[in-house]
Amino acid sequence: MKFDDLDKQMRVYETSHDHRVLPGLWIAARLDGRNFTRLCRDRARFQAPFDERFRDLMIAAAAHLMDCGFKVLYAYTQSDEISLLFDREIDLFGRKTRKYNSILAGEASAKFSLLLGDVAAFDCRLSQLPNEETVIDYFRWRAEDAHRNSLNAHCYWLLRKENMGAEETARFLERKTVAEKNELLFSRGINYNDLPAWQKRGTGLYRIDGKIQADCDLPFGDAYGDFIRRKLYEP
């Protein structure tokens, strides 16, 4: 069999399940660290519940993704995840989902590993969002997740440092409301409202005069929705 014929025959197996994002849809990518709990606790030994060194590595990885060939309007990172919003008209790789997922996961994994000096891996998935309001809801969702996780993390590690066991701490916090968790911290001299904004709401990245800027003091609630709306069509 001639090579060209063999090549054509075999490529069917690679491309038979290729999916493309339809024109006109917004694309958001979300990357998550793989086994980052173990990485942060056992290998890198980052401070719990939040460590500025880890935050800065995630910001650097997000900035790299904004500058590796994709037109990214806005990036957001909290905990061990990164979300990217692409220009609505992006047509890189014909909008093939497998190309976006594989390249972004590879780029993030390589950059973070180089910065950390240890092996780290990310996975990636795409959300196909039909309109502006859904885009705004997507980023408000991730910010609300950051807020919930932040409050839980501060409470969890406070109790762990008071020698409460891991399972006992988890069960204890499952029964607590948001108000009760805030009161728990306040009773130990911690006003959750006074904690750094990046711990509660994550960090946003966007371009100002062509340069990538990291914003560690994002607005919240409706103000954050308005903030995202302004990012949708910025150059």
Reported as a single tens digit per residue, the pLDDT across 59-88 is 999 999 999 999 999 999 999 999 999 999
Reported as a single tens digit per residue, the pLDDT across 204-234 is 999 999 999 999 999 999 999 999 999 998 7
DSSP letter, residue 46? P
Average pLDDT, the chain: 95
d(CA 74, CA 207): 8
Residue the block writes with tokens 């371009």: 207
Q: pTM higher than 0.85, yes or no?
A: yes
Residue 27: strand pairing partners: 128
231: tokens are 């990012």
Coil vs helix vs strand at 17: coil
The answer to whether residue 149 scores a pLDDT higher than 90 is: yes
Q: Which of 78, 84, 38, 86 is nearest to 58 (CA)?
A: 78
Q: Return the pLDDT at 18.
A: 84
Domains observed in the chain: 14-143+201-231 (3.30.70.3000)
Coil vs helix vs strand at 114: helix
